[in-house]
Amino acid sequence: MKNTSLKIRSLARLAILLVILVLINIIGHNLYTRLDLTTEKRYTLAPATTSLLRDVDDVVYVQVYLEGKFPAGFKRLRNATEEMLYEFANVSGGKVQYRFVDPSAGEYAQRETLYKSLYDKGLSPTNLQVKENDGTSQQIIFPGLLMRYRGQEVPVNLLENRPGFAPDQALNISIELLEYKLANGIKKVSQRVSPRIGILQGHGELDTLQMADIITTLGDLKYDVKLVNLSNTLSVAKRFETLIVAKPTQPFNEQDKFKLDQFVMHGGSILWLLDATDADMDSLKGQPFQMASTRDLNLDDQLFRYGVRFNNDLVQDIQSNVIPIVVGQGNPPQTQLLPWPYFPVLSSYSSDPNDTRMPKPHTIVRNLDAIATQFISTIDTIKVPGVKKTPLLFSSKYSKAILTPARIHFAILKEQPDPKNYTKSYMPVSWLLEGNFTSVFKNRLSAETIQTLNDSLSNVGFKDAGDYAKMIVVGDGDIIANALGTDGNPYLLGYYPYTQQTFANKDFILNCIEYLTDDAQLIETRNKEIKLRMLDKVKVRDQKLMWQVINMGVPVLIVALFGLAYNFIRRRKYARN
């Protein structure tokens, strides 16, 4: 009887334990939680990302093409992508669904068809060397994904190709940007209204062929891009989120300045890409020199009121791009690529980590590669209440600025640049301005004129103190211009034909536009930093045996001690009975 009662109690305990385990599993399945114990909080989503995912009202289907046999670095990127998508799926309540696909599976004809389809949709392939037992082989991979939502589709390239970085660093940057890229992709594919971008025309700005690549790219990213001629419109206020002013060459009249001013006063953002100096390579063709003079755009007073001043100078930089120069006779003539100090290559960071003169890179330029410029000018800031100013781009450590008018000639190429003559370091050439701007027309208009304007602009009205707005100013208009081939077709923005190198101009422009149009500040997720914690090779070599013994022996020792303690307690218990 006693044994029967003991068995019943044991079975009851077992049943209660099983019920508790089942309940814990049910609660754990429905109540998702996660502790992020990493120093840099790599698994914690930004508030903007969380808000975006919880607002998704239909399924976002993600097809990832990171499957197959990869080296360790790409496996790390693949696993990090899966972890991030898993997090997205849980936060969105299952609205984000994903699947990994190997694009290299299947027959040759199927692979080629799929490769072409992915390329046409905007995914960039990478040629990868894979080590095998009998050597190495070439493999084409597409480190990216396609997002689909209610018939819309958006490509997302995950790999950051950074020529100036080691492969491990480039892959680490790619992992750092995963949250931003995935969240931005979901935002683009699920947004009901596309952000409206106006590209200014009518003042000698860059034409559509010179901006063909950025216009096409913005369209692919679901921006609503329109050309705007201020002389043909009464007002641009509230018609666009952002205006792009790309290298105007003719002065703005007061009417056009007023329209731009009121656009800013009503919360509109502007990307100013201006050449303060009239200098270009075409004027040097067949000429011994060119006189670079100040370009009068009649915008100085307006920009001064907003908080910046374009200086009448040109930056010369030892860190510069190259141009072809004829160095010998022949058919064709012998040419050589020589560094041209008037084409600075810009960075948002210092190459010297101990140099404290450079501020921490802003979100817009963080992790960007070098940016190519042509005849760029420096920009100073003016103290304006209520406006925050953040520098974005700088010249290098060895640079200088020459005042205009100045004579530009190729004779400078005959001399080896001496760092002692380039004494100005990290001169700012681009700024971000944020805040409540004051109208340049404040106290300049009579009450009757203001009343007339309010009557004619009934939808917006005149304002002399602005809503919160943002603008970015850059001292080079060509930074957004794509080069043209000999056949007249445009290259990709940032591609430099002479060296066949692609600079980060497109990434910079897209980041600027994203920041100017994004009210949710989703771009702040670009600030996430994941540190590469490399093994100390000397310690690994010297302490290899010790750590092998610890890793293999300690777990066995713990189990053995637990077994001995359990048997000891069991014997004492039953010895008493």
pLDDT (tens digit per residue) in 380-434: 999 999 999 999 999 998 999 999 888 888 888 888 888 888 999 899 999 999 9
Mean pLDDT over 554-560 rounds to 86
- 221 or 317: which leads in pLDDT: 317
Rounded mean pLDDT, 14-39: 72
Residue 331 φ/ψ, nearest 5 degrees: -135, 100
Q: What is the pLDDT of residue 350?
A: 53
Phi-psi region of 45 (alpha: psi -120 to 50; beta: other; left: phi over 0): beta
Residues near 341 by Cβ (< 8 Å), separated by ≥ 6?
A: 316, 317, 318, 320, 412, 417
Q: DSSP per residue over 164-182, as a string?
A: TS-HHHHHHHHHHTHHHHH
Say whether pLDDT at 37 is over 60: no
pLDDT at residue 532, as a whole number: 47
What is the residue extent of each domain of the chain?
Answer: 47-189, 193-279+293-399+425-503, 541-572
- Confidence at residue 308, expressed as pLDDT on a 0 to 100 scale: 96
Single pTM value for the model: 0.78
Selection from 373, 394, 379, 375 nearest residue 481 by Cα: 373
| More reliable by pLDDT, 335 or 399 | 399
State which fold the 47-189 domain adopts.
Answer: Glutaredoxin (3.40.30)
Q: What is the pLDDT of residue 376?
A: 95
Residue 99 confidence (pLDDT)? 92
Query: What are phi and psi for residue 567, nearest 5 degrees?
Result: -65, -35
DSSP 375: S
Read off the pLDDT band of 502 (50, 70, 90): confident
Per-residue pLDDT at 32 = 55
Neighbours of 65 (CB within 10 A): 21
Comparing 350 with 102, which gets the higher pLDDT?
A: 102
Q: Is 201 helix (H, G, I), strand (E, B) or coil?
A: strand
Most confident of 31-40, 182-191, 372-381: 372-381
Distance CA 293, CA 532 (A): 48
Question: Which helix (H) or strand (E) element contains residue 391?
Answer: strand 387-394
Largest CA distance in the chain: 116
Q: In the predicted model, what is the mean pLDDT of residues 302-319?
A: 94
Residue 29 structure tokens: 């399945």
b/e burial code for range 230-252 (CB count within 10 A of at least 16 → b): beeeebbbebbbbbbbbbbeeeb
- Mean pLDDT calculated for residue range 510-517: 92
225-274 confidence digits (pLDDT tens): 999 999 888 888 889 999 999 999 999 998 899 999 999 999 999 999 99
Give the pLDDT mean for 71-83. 85
pLDDT, tens digit, 9 for 90 and up, residues 365-383: 887 888 999 999 999 999 9
- Per-residue pLDDT tens for 208-238? 999 999 999 898 888 999 999 998 888 888 8
Alpha-carbon gap, residue 157 to 184, rounded angstroms = 12
Question: 109-154 pLDDT, tens per residue?
Answer: 888 888 888 888 888 888 776 666 565 667 788 888 999 998 888 8
Q: Token pair of 442, please?
A: 């404040």
What pLDDT band is residue 50 in, cutting at 50, 70 and 90?
Answer: confident
For residues 167 and 385, what is the distance between their CA atoms, to the nearest angstrom? 45
455 pLDDT tier (thresholds 50, 70, 90): low
Sorting pLDDT into bands at 50, 70 and 90, what band is 349?
A: low
Classify residue 390 by burial, with Cβ atoms within 10 Å: 0-12, 13-18, 19+: middle
Count Cβ atoms below 10 Å from residue 131 Cβ, excluding itself.
10
The mean pLDDT of the chain is: 84
pLDDT higher at 285 or 503: 503
Question: CA-to-CA distance for 487 and 305, rounded, in angstroms?
Answer: 44
Could you give the percent of the chain with pLDDT greater than 90?
Answer: 34
